């Protein structure tokens, strides 16, 4: 073989080797594609050939304790188009321009959805996309119009409807701070919605559709469906009726006191820790949480910031976050005299004989060179242990703390009652109280702490501590979730209501309850929380705020539980920065706590047990005299007066003379069913409607009067009285009229019952922290 042939063979061999190597490399690459990299490239192919649509799981419902729906999800729709499919369909028409799918779809969708034509048309131009959203949260009626449009023009591959969920709260603002709300992605961000988001949200499914390179949907065998798993339901401890009435009273306390920094209240089952109601006012609408309430909007409008400016936007956000925060669990405050309930329980547990001791108050008490004043500057004189609690005497409590407890023992009970920890309530954002470190807890600190000053607690912590005294000494864990259930009503889990620990004995609790109840029914500082027929244990509190810029501003509160001899529920109302009237818990908060108990105790089937005095003075219900013959009613006139204390005034008797006795009564005032004070009521009866309609009187102004004076003024005007808010009835001891149901100067039928509300305005519960050298 010559050299030329040898060279040719060499070149052929090299080429062969290179081709073999290349072919081997290709085989290796194919092998790797089919093995190691199969999933990766399969996914890339699928991404190009498939459209994945989320099948949203239905978020679970939230119910009140009686099964009433508080939060649910309603079906809405996302409207979207496939620009790629639109372009493909248009291409098939070739040069036929009589039908333009982009214009047809843009024109009809903009009209049905009431949106700009230009917006829809622009979406059709993104021809590389399979999915462009046109509208969200479309309701059923609108979705049905779109379906008809799709069917009419056979647009099934170009225009689509995707069912989605929108959170809905049937009662708008009711329990908004408990329920919270969800964000645009459907995730809970406040309240129960946030706390139990994982339980409520469920697991989304998928609907995967295969399409060819032109965007056309492939046959059914190329589709797959992964079913969504709906969320579970929350059965809350909230009682809708109790919640509604609590909100009404918290709002009244806020409004009537001119509060500047919100008010809140809680109703709790003292034996289980179940929250029956929790309210904050002003509140917000869970269906529209991003809109400020009226009070916050007014603050924003008066800020002076230019609308749309950075300062305006920042302040609006601050107001929104403040509105959303749950004041009952997030904020801290100085508890004031309501803490005296705890100090008294500590002392009685450690030294039962302290109940027999006397305490002296001359208006000031010296502690290590400091002079700490009582709210009653002239002093209370000599008080019993019970009297010191009922009269809210600061020197008395200081003597109990310093002489009968001491710093070490007092601190032990602070720990036991949970003041150094959170309650663990199942709502997000619970605040932490602020108390002295044990190493820094001095006698001067003990002196002020004994009457509830110079430390901070949350409202939920204070109520939980008092509930322990109410239930026999056991610390319970407050909670708002009762059960988690699936859609077949199977119970997935239940809240453990086991009481955690006993902090004081049941005997001590019984004694403290008696002391507090006597302060309500007797001459204590919590008389405004009185409820006829029920033994209410209550303590009021007033504290001066210590924050910089808050000098001279107060927090007024009242905590109560009932019945005192068998406690079932506890109520607390706290009003931050009241500005009107007497700024004491006894007037700002206690009446509204009493109002709450007056309604919810009968609702909870707690039977009223009236004292003889209460029965004697109880308002009477006016019977019907319409339809009676005058002669027959005259025979019973003495009976009604002696039995029910109702006097009957035959108003038009003189007009008809001897014929009068045979006439029929057609009108009466007050009307049947109205309640009026027993032995103080006169019913005017008429035998003609014209006589009744012409017999009117003017209502006098009785505000500021005692019960006796108000009654006399109304009787002299031809009117009747119904008394609310005092346990002294007509004795006139201390209670003053603060409101009347009919405006002074208004004209009303003779005999009308005017409901007058009385309060004790001379009682104070000021935990004055006036300390001087």
C-alpha to C-alpha distance for 265 and 279, rounded to whole angstroms: 5
List strands edge to edge, sheet with 205-210: 50-55, 205-210, 224-226
Band of pLDDT at residue 4, cut at 50, 70 and 90: low
What is the SS3 assignment for 694? helix
Q: Which ranges of 223-274 does DSSP label H, i.e. alpha helix?
A: 240-257
What tens digit of pLDDT does each residue of 520-551 get? 988 788 899 999 999 999 999 999 888 877 88
What tens digit of pLDDT does each residue of 738-770 get? 999 999 999 999 999 999 988 888 666 655 555
C-alpha to C-alpha distance for 458 and 451, rounded to whole angstroms: 17
Task: Indicate the angle between helix axes 506-521 and 459-470, nearest 10 degrees.
Answer: 110
Phi, psi of 33 (to 5 degrees): -60, -40
Phi, psi of 382 (to 5 degrees): -90, 130
Q: Are 397 and 340 in contact (CB under 8 A)?
A: yes
Mean pLDDT of the chain: 89
739, β-bridge pairs:
757
- For the chain, helix (H) and strand (E) counts, in that order, are 27, 34
Which of 210-219, 390-399, 621-630 shows the lowest per-residue confidence on average (mean pLDDT)? 210-219
Single pTM value for the model = 0.83
What is the pLDDT at residue 685? 94
Torsion 320-322-328-330 (CA) sign? positive
Between the CA of residue 752 and those of 620, 624, 681, 719, 746, what are the distances in Å?
Answer: 14, 15, 10, 5, 12
What is the pLDDT at residue 497? 82
What is the pLDDT at residue 766? 55
Q: Are 697 and 717 in contact (CB under 8 A)?
A: yes
Q: Where does residue 5 rank: exposed (0-12), middle (13-18), buried (19+ CB within 10 A)?
A: exposed
Question: 3-state SS string over 73-119?
Answer: EEEEEEEEECHHHHHHHHHHCCCCCCCCHHHHHHHHHHHHHCCCHHH
Residue 208 has pLDDT above 90, yes or no: no
Q: How far is CA 320 from the centre of its chain?
A: 16
Q: Where does residue 84 rank: exposed (0-12), middle (13-18), buried (19+ CB within 10 A)?
A: buried
What tens digit of pLDDT does each residue of 15-74 get? 667 776 676 766 666 666 566 665 665 555 555 556 666 677 889 999 999 999 999 998
Band of pLDDT at residue 585, cut at 50, 70 and 90: very high
Residue 80 has pLDDT above 70, yes or no: yes
Q: How many beta carbons lie within 10 A of that of residue 33, not counting itself?
A: 13
C-alpha to C-alpha distance for 753 and 674, rounded to whole angstroms: 8
What tens digit of pLDDT does each residue of 221-279 get? 546 778 888 999 999 999 999 999 999 999 999 999 999 999 999 999 999 999 999 99
The number of CA neighbours under 13 Å toward the Cβ of 33 is: 10
- For residues 207-232, give the mean pLDDT: 66
What is the pLDDT at residue 10? 66
Best CA proximity match to 170, nearest among 47, 287, 59: 287
Q: Are 247 and 283 in contact (CB under 8 A)?
A: yes
Sequence-separated (6 or more) residues with CB below 8 Å from residue 351: 404
Place of tokens 């019984």: 510
Q: Are 81 and 119 in contact (CB under 8 A)?
A: no
What tens digit of pLDDT does each residue of 696-737 get? 999 999 999 988 899 889 989 999 988 887 765 555 457 889
Q: Are 215 and 130 in contact (CB under 8 A)?
A: yes
What is the pLDDT at residue 773? 47
């Amino acid at each position: 073989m010559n050299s030329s042939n040898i060279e040719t063979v060499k070149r052929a061999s090299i080429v062969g080797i290179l081709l073999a190597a290349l072919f081997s490399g290709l085989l290796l690459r194919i092998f790797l594609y089919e093995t190691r990299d199969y999933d990766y490239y399969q996914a890339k192919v699928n991404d190009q050939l498939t459209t994945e649509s989320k099948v949203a799981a239905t978020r679970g419902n939230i119910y009140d304790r009686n099964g009433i729906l508080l939060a649910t999800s309603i079906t809405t729709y996302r409207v979207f188009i496939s620009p790629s499919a639109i372009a493909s369909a248009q291409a098939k028409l070739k040069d036929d321009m009589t039908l333009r799918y982009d214009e047809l779809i843009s024109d009809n969708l903009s009209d049905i959805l009431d949106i700009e034509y230009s917006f829809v048309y622009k979406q059709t131009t993104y021809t590389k996309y399979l999915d462009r959203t046109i509208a969200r949260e479309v309701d059923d009626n609108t979705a049905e119009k779109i379906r008809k449009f799709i069917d009419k023009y056979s647009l099934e591959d170009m225009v689509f409807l995707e069912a989605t969920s929108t959170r809905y709260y049937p009662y708008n603002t009711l329990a908004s701070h408990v329920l919270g709300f969800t964000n645009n992605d459907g995730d809970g961000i406040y309240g129960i919605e946030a706390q139990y988001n994982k339980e409520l949200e469920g697991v989304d499914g998928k609907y995967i559709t295969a399409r060819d390179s032109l965007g056309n949907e492939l046959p059914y065998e190329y589709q797959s469906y992964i079913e969504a798993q709906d969320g579970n339901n929350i059965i809350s401890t909230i009682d809708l009726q109790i919640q509604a009435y609590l909100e009404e009273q918290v709002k009244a306390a806020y409004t009537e006191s001119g509060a500047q920094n919100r008010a809140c209240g809680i109703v709790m089952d003292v034996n289980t820790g179940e929250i029956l109601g929790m309210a904050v006012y002003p509140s917000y609408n869970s269906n529209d949480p991003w809109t400020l309430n009226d009070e916050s909007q007014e603050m924003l409008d008066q800020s002076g910031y230019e609308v749309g400016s950075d300062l305006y936007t920042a302040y609006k956000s601050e107001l929104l976050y403040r509105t959303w925060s749950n004041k009952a669990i997030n904020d801290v405050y100085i508890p004031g005299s309501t803490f005296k309930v705890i100090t008294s329980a500590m002392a009685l547990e450690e030294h039962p004989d302290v109940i027999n001791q006397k305490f002296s108050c001359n208006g000031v008490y010296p502690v290590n060179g400091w002079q700490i004043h009582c709210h009653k500057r002239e002093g209370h004189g000599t008080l019993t242990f019970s009297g010191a609690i009922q009269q809210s005497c600061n020197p008395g409590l200081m003597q109990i703390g310093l002489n009968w407890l001491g710093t070490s023992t007092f601190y032990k009970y602070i720990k036991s009652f949970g003041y150094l920890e959170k309650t663990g309530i199942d709502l997000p954002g619970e605040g932490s109280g602020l108390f002295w470190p044990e190493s820094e807890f001095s006698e001067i600190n003990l002196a002020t702490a004994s009457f509830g000053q110079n430390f901070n607690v949350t409202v939920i912590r204070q109520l939980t501590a008092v509930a322990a005294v109410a239930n026999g000494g056991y610390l319970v864990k407050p909670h708002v979730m009762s059960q988690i259930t699936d859609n077949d009503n199977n119970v997935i889990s239940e809240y453990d209501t086991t009481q955690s620990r006993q902090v004081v004995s049941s005997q001590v609790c019984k004694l403290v309850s008696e002391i507090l109840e006597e302060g309500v029914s007797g001459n204590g500082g919590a008389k405004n929380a009185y409820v006829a027929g029920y033994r209410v244990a209550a303590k009021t509190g007033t504290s001066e705020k210590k924050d910089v810029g808050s000098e001279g501003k107060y927090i007024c509160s009242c905590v109560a539980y009932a019945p005192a001899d068998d406690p079932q529920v506890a109520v607390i109302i706290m009003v931050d920065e009241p500005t009107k009237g007497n700024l004491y818990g006894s007037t700002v908060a206690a009446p509204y706590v009493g109002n709450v108990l007056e309604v919810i105790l009968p609702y909870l089937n707690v039977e009223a047990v009236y004292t003889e005095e209460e029965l004697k003075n109880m308002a009477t219900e006016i019977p019907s005299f319409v339809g009676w013959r005058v002669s027959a009613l005259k025979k019973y006139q003495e009976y009604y007066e002696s039995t029910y204390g109702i006097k009957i005034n035959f108003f038009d008797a003189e007009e008809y003379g001897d014929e009068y006795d045979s006439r029929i009564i057609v009108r009466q005032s007050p009307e049947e069913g109205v309640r009026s004070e027993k032995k103080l009521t006169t019913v005017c009866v008429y035998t003609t409607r014209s006589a009744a309609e012409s017999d009117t009187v003017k209502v006098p102004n009785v505000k500021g009067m005692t019960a006796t004076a108000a009654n006399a003024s109304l009787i002299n005007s031809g009117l009747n009285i119904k008394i609310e808010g005092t346990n002294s009835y007509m004795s006139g001891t201390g209670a003053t009229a603060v409101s009347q149901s009919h405006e002074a100067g208004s004209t009303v039928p003779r005999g009308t019952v005017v409901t007058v509300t009385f309060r004790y305005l001379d009682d104070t519960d000021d935990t004055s922290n006036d300390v001087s050298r």
